[in-house]
Amino acid sequence: MSPRKPLGLERSPAFTYHQPTSRIPFRKPPRVLRAEEVSLAALAEQYGTPLYVYSATAIQQRLATFDAAFSTIPHTVCYAVKANSNLSLLRMMAKLGCGFDIVSGGELERVLRAHKKAAKKVVFSGVGKTVEEMKFALDSGILLFNVESESELWALATCAARMKKTARIALRVNPEVAAETHPYISTGMREHKFGIPMSDARVLYSRAAGIKGIEIAGVSVHIGSQITDPEPFRLAMSRVTDLVNYLQAEGHTIRFVDAGGGLGISYEDTPSSDPTEFAKYVQSYAERVLQPLRGLGVHLLLEPGRVLVGPAGALVTRVLYRKQHDGKLFLIVDAAMNDLIRPALYKAHHAITPVTLADDVPSEVADVVGPVCETGDFLARDRSLPKCEEASLLAILDAGAYGMAQSGNYNTRPRPAEVMVEGKKAKLVRKRETMDDLMGLEE
């Protein structure tokens, strides 16, 4: 059985198959997967594998679509740096007018290196901010601290008072909204470490109002990640709106509502690559978020990450060996769980497709596994793929978010290089690590 052109395994405009012109009559050459207008095979030849490849155009288009969906209300898109923190990507986001959502001092340093004046659009989230990180953020003049506990509030107030500065804050409230997602990335319930219970928030806002060095400016919420049903966002924002109305009636100035992020993407083998469908999806999300907020007179902060960069990235890997084991086929590739941990950590599905694909290749079922010495080192299990020979290339799709950002050096493996493509141009935006890089800090 011959596979047909895999439209579902394309991510237009990021990754699409190109049919080269045949030089031999009646013979169709294999299709080649391209990042925009650049062959992934050519990039693998030039930069080696494993290799992360990103489409600048796809990111730009998704950001424009997201921004347009919220055009009816004052808003700032604060890109979630944790999704992909490459400096070139952050620089591009800043030039496009983005703010940034950070969760560490290191991420703030990245943002400032990408764009010196970006701090005024930075929102600092996270449950474990250190005093040193607070000082850094105060010195940098960030837009907003999302405070996640009473203890953090007192620590921030003390820090700001000693520095004779004012910390602009929103309390991150926990709206008790359940969202259908992986339990490791669900954040909106009382059993999670994030946020302040709604029942405690009113009292804490009253206490914060009299603290030197603290300026109450907003309310923040985030219910989780990889949520594809927009309805939980509407419910969460309805509860936030009730709180804002109460706080404003009590005399608090609430200028910002931070709706968080969490809008998911499809990781299946056949998601729609039609930009119109994506626009409808984002518009549906925007309608749910905006409906409760109309008339509040607030500036909306949004923290998308995965939905902007996920489908714009792929991890290119080479098949090292084919291995049969009692009737089970393993494709051993040079990418591993240290390069893309999502399958091992979340049992996440990533579509995989050959970089070069001919019409007459039969399909086979295989586990795609890496060289790391762990049984959990797999990228796919029992996956139907066109037959792949040793030395052939595979593209692991939808790897632009939480791919390189969660990578590591287990088994003393250097992390991959990263390349950004725009049109016909490809730029190396992170060099492949060397052994000197890995061991340079050791004695």
Helix boundaries (H) for 225-336: 231-249, 275-290, 306-309
In the chain, how long is the greatest CA-to-CA distance? Answer: 82
Instruction: At 318, give phi and psi (nearest 5°).
Output: -110, 140
The CA-to-CA distance between both ends of the chain, in Å, stands at 57
Say if residues 299 and 313 touch (Cβ distance below 8 Å).
Answer: no
Query: Among 130, 100, 34, 127, which Cα is nearest to 302's?
Result: 100
Q: Is the peptide bond before 13 cis (omega within 30 degrees of 0)?
A: yes
CB atoms within 10 A of CB 274: 11
CA 110 to the chain's CA centroid: 16
Beta bridge mates, 257: 219, 300
Instruction: Point out the residues that are catalytic.
Output: 373
Query: Among 142, 281, 269, which Cα is nearest to 215's?
Result: 142
Q: Distance of CA 184 to CAs 226, 345, 347, 437, Å?
A: 11, 9, 11, 31
As a whole number of angstroms, the distance between CA 284 and CA 231 comes to: 9
What tokens appear for 37 in the block? 């207008």
Q: Report which DSSP code applies to 412.
A: T
